[in-house]
Amino acid sequence: KVFDTASIIGKVFEDHNGDGFQADATADDVLIDIDLALGDYVPNSTFIIQDGVETQLKDVTGKLQGQPVVMSRMDKGYEVDELYGLSRNRTLKQINQVAFQFKTRTRQGFSFKVTTDNGTHIEFDQQGNAITKHKGDKQKGLSAEHIDVVRNLYRDGDEYLWEIVVENKGLYEDGIPGIRLLTVEG
């Protein structure tokens, strides 16, 4: 009886990319993996800045010509559980950005990559050129995450401070997936 006096119209969510599916903008399991030259890292200089809080990351040990060498935790990869996106309709308490800082003895560039479980895959070479190769849900347009990565270099006395900022600028397609009924009663 409902369909005798009702019409089904539209969507009840924001479809920013126009694909007809409600995509989540949360970036899950964001992995940042750098490749510093052995011996260039300044020990105990790696920090993560998340939600305005700076936390030191413990160093790890590697080998250079059979000798132990202290390496940044970032050299073995560091994973952030979630980076939330942005919303036009609501204020989100969760963070959408994280920054990493560490020092090196030289200004020599390094390669690194940022990947997510949803399929974002961004690789940077030593000169800072980025190559983006999305896969999975991101490639299919089923994830609304939009990861932006910036690498900065600052001179700090005789050392160099590197900063990698990872920000999720993806927009949530807010609403409830489904249908809307237009009836005589409203």
Q: 62-72 pLDDT, tens per residue? A: 887 888 889 99
Band (pLDDT 50/70/90 cuts) for residue 77 is very high
Question: Given the DSSP bridges, would you call strands 60-64 and 53-56 parallel, antiparallel or unpaired?
Answer: unpaired
- 27: which 2 tokens? 């970036």
Q: Which helix (H) or strand (E) holds 6?
A: strand 6-9
* Residue in 104, 99, 114, 103 with CA at minimum distance from that of residue 54: 99
Q: Please write the tens of the pLDDT for every residue from 123-170.
A: 999 999 999 999 999 988 888 899 999 999 999 999 999 999 999 998
pLDDT > 90? residue 172? no
**21 or 38, higher pLDDT:** 38
**117 or 17, higher pLDDT:** 117
Band (pLDDT 50/70/90 cuts) for residue 76 is confident
Sequence-distant (6+) residues with CB within 8 A of 170 are 25, 27, 85, 86, 143, 144, 145, 146, 147
pLDDT score, position 17? 61
Is 146 within 8 Å of 168 (Cβ atoms)?
A: yes
Q: Please give the Cα distance from 154 to 84 (Å, whole number).
A: 28
Flag the least confident range among 11-20, 105-114, 124-133, 163-172.
11-20
Q: Please give the Cα distance from 133 to 116 (Å, whole number).
A: 12
pLDDT > 80? residue 20? no
What value, to the nearest 5°, has the Cα angle with vertex 42 and ends 38 and 46? 105
Whole-model pTM: value is: 0.81
Average model confidence (pLDDT) for the chain? 85
**175 or 100, higher pLDDT:** 100
In the Cβ-directed half-sphere of 106, how many Cα atoms lie within 13 Å?
8
pLDDT score, position 25? 82
Q: Please give the Cα distance from 1 to 160 (Å, whole number).
A: 72
Q: Burial letters for 133-159: b for 16+ Cβ neighbours within 10 Å, e otherwise? A: ebeebbeeebbbbbbebebeeeeeeee
pLDDT score, position 12? 55
- Mean pLDDT, residues 48-58: 95
